[in-house]
C-alpha cells in the first residue's frame, strides 16, 4: 500500500488536512471496536467512532495512525500496525471548515487491553454485520460496509 500516493492524490484534489482511523476487529472479523466520544467533545459529541484522529504536520499517514491507536486505545508504542490490505477514504469538512480526507485502514485486535483516552467515555465490541445499527456517522458506516464486502468477497 502506497500511502504517499494516497496523500499526493488527495493534495491534487485540493485537500491538505488528513486523518487516519482503523477498523479494529476481533473474533475473525465478527466484532469491531467502537469508541464513545465524550458529550463535551467539539467533534461529534457523544457519538460512536472508530479509533481515529488527525495526522499531524510532518507525520506520515501510518505514523499518525499508530499515534492515534496509542492515544485512543492504548496500543503500545512500537507494536507493528499489522494492517490488512484494505484502505478506503472519505472527505469531510472539519469543525474549522477545512476540507479533510480520512483514510480508514483495518487491523486485527491482538488482545491488548483497551485503554481509552480522555476523549472517550466508553467502548464496546459490536457485531460487525450490525454496524448500521450503531451510532457511527454515515461515512464511517460506509467504510465498515466496504471492509465487510471486501472480506466477504475473499471468503
pLDDT in tens, the chain (155 residues): 799 999 999 999 999 899 999 999 999 999 999 999 999 887 778 899 999 999 999 999 999 999 999 999 999 988 889 999 899 999 998 878 889 999 999 999 998 899 999 999 999 999 999 999 999 999 999 999 999 999 989 87
In 10 A of CB 50, how many CB atoms?
24
Q: Which residues pair with 61 in a beta bridge?
A: none
Which pTM was predicted?
0.94
CB-count exposure of residue 68 (10 Å: 0-12, 13-18, 19+): buried
Amino acid at each position: 500500500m502506497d500511502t504517499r500516493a494516497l496523500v499526493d492524490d488527495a493534495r491534487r484534489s485540493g485537500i491538505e488536512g488528513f486523518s487516519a482511523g482503523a477498523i479494529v476487529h476481533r473474533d475473525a472479523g465478527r466484532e469491531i471496536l467502537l469508541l464513545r466520544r465524550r458529550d463535551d467533545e467539539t467533534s461529534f459529541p457523544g457519538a460512536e467512532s472508530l479509533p481515529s484522529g488527525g495526522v499531524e504536520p510532518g507525520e506520515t499517514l501510518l505514523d499518525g495512525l499508530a499515534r492515534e491507536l496509542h492515544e485512543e486505545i492504548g496500543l503500545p508504542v512500537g507494536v507493528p500496525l499489522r494492517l490488512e490490505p484494505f484502505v478506503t477514504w472519505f472527505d469531510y469538512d472539519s469543525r474549522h471548515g477545512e476540507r479533510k480526507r480520512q483514510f480508514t485502514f483495518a487491523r486485527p485486535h491482538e488482545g491488548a487491553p483497551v485503554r481509552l483516552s480522555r476523549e472517550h467515555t466508553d467502548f464496546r465490541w459490536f457485531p460487525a454485520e450490525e454496524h448500521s445499527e450503531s451510532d457511527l456517522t454515515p461515512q464511517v458506516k460506509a467504510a465498515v460496509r466496504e471492509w465487510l464486502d471486501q472480506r466477504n468477497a475473499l471468503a
